[in-house]
Amino acid sequence: MFDSAPIIVGLEIGTSKICAVVGEIGAGGSLNLIGIGQARSRGVRKGEIAEPVLVEEDVRNAIAEAEQMANVEIRSVYLGVTGDHIRGFSNHGTHPVVSADREITEDDVQDAIKNAKAINLPLENSIIHAIRQHFQVDTQTGIINPVGMYGAKVEVDVHVVHGKGNRLKNSIAVVKGLQLEVEEVVFNGLASSLALLSNEQKELGSLVIDIGGGTTDYAVYADGIVKHTGVLAVGGDHVSNDLAYGLKVPLGRAEQLKLEHASAVLQPEIKGRTVDLPGQLGLPSKTINLEHLHRITSLRLEEIFELIEREISNLGWLERLRAGVFICGGGARIPQIQILAENVFQLPAYLGKTNSISGLKSALDQPEFATGIGLVRFGSLQQKRKSRGGLMQALTDVFKR
Amino acid sequence: MTTPLEKPDGASVEKTDDAAVKKNISIKVFGVGGAGCNAAGFIAQTPFENVDIMLLNTDAQALAASPVPQKWVLGQKRNRGLGTGGDPEQGRAAAEDDAARLAAFCAGADIVFIMTGLGGGTGTGAAPVMARVARESGALVLAMATLPFSFEGARRLRQAEVGLQSLKSSADAVICLPNQKLLKLLDEKTSVVETFKISNTLMADGLRGIWRLLMQTGLINVDFADLCSVTRGRHVASSFATAEAGGEKRSEQVVEKLLAHPLLDGGHVLNESDAVLVSLAGGPDLTMSEVNKIMEPLQRHCENAHLILGAAIDEAYTGRIAVTLIASSRQSAVAEPVPAGPAAEAATEPPMQFLDPATTPRPPSRLVAPPPELSSEKKEQLYHRQTGQTRKKLSRMQRELPLEIVFKGRFEKSEPTIRHGEDLDLPTYIRKGVALN
């Protein structure tokens, strides 16, 4: 093993599965997926770590599998986080340009961003991302980078994603406990959107909804930048739980019914149809009314979409989503979920396809891996930025090649 | 029940006169029954100004063990100070025997607090009588009652329910502490003694909060009338919670403590309540933005509720904030057991109609004309038609079903996901009321 090509690993500790995705930056700077490892998750509830010992074991398995598949040694990961405690909101910061000639310097920009970040967060919360959006110089709006411009005042909008510091530390501690470095902590919703959206879609305005096991993460892009992010601690597990309760079957069977027979939309021809569950292992055989199954599933998923719709439309972003809604995560496997989303949002809805990354076709098509792949993509962007950052860094990179 | 106009208004007139007058209101605390005496005794250990504490019990032995100087054995003649054996009827009779004496105790008090534990004999039976007597002697009556643990058995629970109803009809306001909710506060190792101590502490905290609310001049004043408007005529027990915090982040901390309070079920109670009274106390350094910081999250938790805010300034609370919160909800539109009539009428009404229906006088019926003469054939026909109709009507009438307790399945142990006051962990189809045939 030589460190010839830098590898980037995304680790998602999800409620239903833990997955590690390994990407490699190729000679031309292109990103190539070379390995995936996954393990069933046992110690996570609603996206947050509940039993660290189990989680540590599961993460170890997933990482080992990924290492084996990619034939690399994993030393550091980009860690995806989610959970109900994570919130996203936009804030505005201003900074007067003080230099005599009124030229805006990098320092001014940083100060403006610092002002925008200085928000009234609860003491125990820490910032996960502070994504700068458009700058405004005096009255001129929509500026991507104001350094070198002239003006009296720089203003900036920053989208801040923050969460409870201690809960974030829990995830980090598990990874550190396995002698792995955490390069950066990334919000899952953002990672998924990175994996799914092309630049045009970001420009046109899109909503990415990642329906996971325990949480549903979402991110809104418009004008090429992140406008809003959020988490709803309701996911596929809730569908199974509702089914278990409504159909009076054990949770395991409810899970199986969801995977095999669920539908997001109630269709008229389903009326009166039933599914027979064979008796096994002491469980009696049972006949399930398919209409009930679909109704329970559909109501739950509809509610998830409605809650997101309400939040986004209150913020005024719904009209800006011209590219539509993109759905990923395990929930995207439920048939006809895009039709349900179209009905709720009144926008075109698609199942998200990961693009802008190559390799391992089988993994790329699966909606569950969107977050993992997005994490790798996030990592590659970060590394590109870093390597662009300094001359010395660039030089060392050249020599490495 | 008092007329909402007469007494609270009289009190507020008094209060608005002068701050000094307000301070001179005399308060008497009566502990009734075993639990009530314990709680009142606990309060007596940390005295506060202008408050007299007195214990009333039928059990002379238990009473003798308490260090509080003022005490009285109820119904000495009737059961020779040996207690009631858990029979509310005996407790009631004992208190009725001593009614004149009780009235003498209440003389001169402006506000009477009755602390009691419902479910047993003395508390359940005597507390409503005490409340009535105190009301008759012209005091405002506020009762704080604990409800039994559910392991104490269905009979005690039922007795407590009945006692609570009659207490509600005879006191101006009743605040309830269901002991069952305490279980959440306890861990495996908590001893029984500690458990009851916690219950007493909560009662004492609640009393102190209400005392503060009534006695201290407020920036935003809350008086007894406000308290009554929250607690009166509600069918569910009002819940209360108090919290205190100091330091720089005190407003955030105090909200956090309140929402974590076991009696509020992590804010659940707030979601369900439709009237909430919040009383803040802070030092002269209390800022409006802090009041805002406290009220905003609370408001978010009870979007549908009628929220009453009071804020008081007390030198003793410099650098700290104390919040008392009383929440109550109206469960259903069932008519009040005792209509809010004029004070005199309500006072003369026997409060124990639940326990002894025989003594309750029947209201005079309207004059009904004698039935017209009919042939037996016609009678039969009419009778059949009528019974048929009523049966049909009965079957058509839908009774209100008790709220289904939904098992949250795998989410039982995780933090609830609450959006817009709804617990999203419960199946959507149940919350939306969709029936699966």
Chain B nearest C-alpha distance from A280 (Å): 22
Q: Are B135 and B347 in contact (CB under 8 A)?
A: yes
DSSP B115-181: EEETTSSHHHHHHHHHHHHHHHTT-EEEEEEEEPPGGG-HHHHHHHHHHHHHHHHHSSEEEEEEGGG
Q: Give B-chain residues touching A299 at CB under 8 angstroms.
A: 428-429, 432, 434
pLDDT for the residue numbered A350 = 92
**What's the distance, Cα to Cα, between the start and end of chain B in Å?**
46
CA distance A181 to chain B (A): 29
Is residue A309 situated within a structural domain?
yes
A203 & A332 share domain: yes
Confidence (pLDDT) at A40: 93
Q: Are residues A110 and A233 in the same domain?
A: no
Of A52-61, A134-143, A316-325, least confident by mean pLDDT is A134-143
Integer Cα distance of A337 and A211 in angstroms: 11
Q: Is the pLDDT of residue A196 over 80?
A: yes
For B315, phi then psi, to 5°, come to -55, -35
B407 Cβ under 8 Å from any chain A Cβ: yes
Please tell me whether residues A225 and A316 are part of one structural domain. Answer: yes
| CATH number for position A139 | 3.30.1490.110
d(CA B358, CA B165): 18
- For B1-215, the fitting CATH number among 3.90.550.10, 3.30.70.1070, 3.40.50.1440, 1.20.1560.10 is 3.40.50.1440
3-state helix vs strand vs coil in chain B, percent to 5: 45, 20, 35
> Beta-carbon neighbour count of residue B330 at 10 Å?
13
Residues of chain B with pLDDT under 50: 1-22, 235-236, 332-364, 392, 394
pLDDT of A105 over the 90 cut: no
- Whether B417 sits inside 8 A of A232 (CB atoms) is yes
Does A234 sit within 8 Å of B424, measured CB to CB? yes
Domain of residue A104: give its range: 87-161
Instruction: Please indicate whether, in this complex, the C-beta atoms of A238 and B424 are within 8 angstroms of each other.
Output: yes
Give me the sheet containing A7-13, strands edge to edge.
A31-40, A17-25, A7-13, A76-81, A181-187
Q: B107 or A255, which is more confident?
A: A255
Dihedral sign (CA B100, B101, B105, B108): positive
Q: Do B427 and A234 touch (CB under 8 A)?
A: no
| Nearest-5° Cα angle at B401, B416 to B392 | 155
The three-state secondary structure class of B345 is helix
Question: At what angle are helices B250-259 and B288-301 packed, to 10 degrees?
Answer: 20
d(CA B38, CA B196): 9
The answer on A227 and A152 residing in a single domain is no
- Given A142, A161, A180, the domain boundary residue is A161
Q: Within a 10 A sphere around the Cβ of B360, how many other Cβ atoms?
A: 13
Residue of B256, B422, B429, B437 to mutate, interface with A, max A Cβ within 10 Å: B429
pLDDT at B265: 67
Give residues with Cβ within 8 angstroms of A396, minimum separation 6.
none
Res B58: pLDDT:
83
pLDDT digits (tens, 9 = 90+) for A7-46: 899 999 999 999 999 998 877 778 888 889 999 999 898 8
Are residues A272 and A154 part of one domain? no
Residues A367, A348 contacting (CB under 8 angstroms): no
The H or E element spanning position A210 is strand A206-211
Q: Tell me the C-alpha to C-alpha distance, in Å, between residue A96 and each of A91, A108, A118, B77, B168.
A: 17, 8, 16, 87, 64
Q: Can you tell me the distance from the alpha carbon of A21 to that of A79, in angstroms, rounded to the nearest whole number?
A: 11
* pLDDT at position B15: 40
Total of domains in chain A: 2
Q: Looking at the structure, tell me whether residues A203 and A289 fall in a common domain.
A: yes
Task: Tell the residue number behind the tokens 């020779």, with chain if given.
Answer: B80
Q: Three-state SS for A89? A: strand
pLDDT of residue B402: 52
- A239 and A341 part of one domain: yes
Q: Looking at the structure, do residues A205 and A306 belong to the same domain, yes or no?
A: yes
In a shared domain, residues A207 and A349: yes
A315 and A209 assigned to the same domain: yes
Q: Which of B248, B251, B417, B418 to mutate to test the interface with A (most CBs of A within 10 A)?
A: B417
DSSP B245-272: EESTTHHHHHHHHHHT-GGGTTTHHHHH
Residue A343 DSSP code: H
Task: Give the three-class secondary structure for B205.
Answer: helix
The pTM assigned to this predicted structure is: 0.55
- Decide the pairing of beta strands B275-282 and A76-81: unpaired
Q: Are both A206 and A349 inside the same structural domain? A: yes
**pLDDT for B360:** 43
On whether residue A61 sits in a domain, the answer given is no
Classify A156 as helix, strand or coil: strand
Where do the structural domains in chain B lie, given as residue ranges?
A: 1-215, 377-437
**C-alpha closest to that of A225 among A202, A254, A192:** A202
| B20 at interface of A, judged by CB pairs closer than 8 A | no
Same domain, A130 and A225: no
Task: Name the β-bridge partners of A48.
Answer: A45
The angle that helices A236-247 and A290-315 make with each other, rounded to 10 degrees, is 140
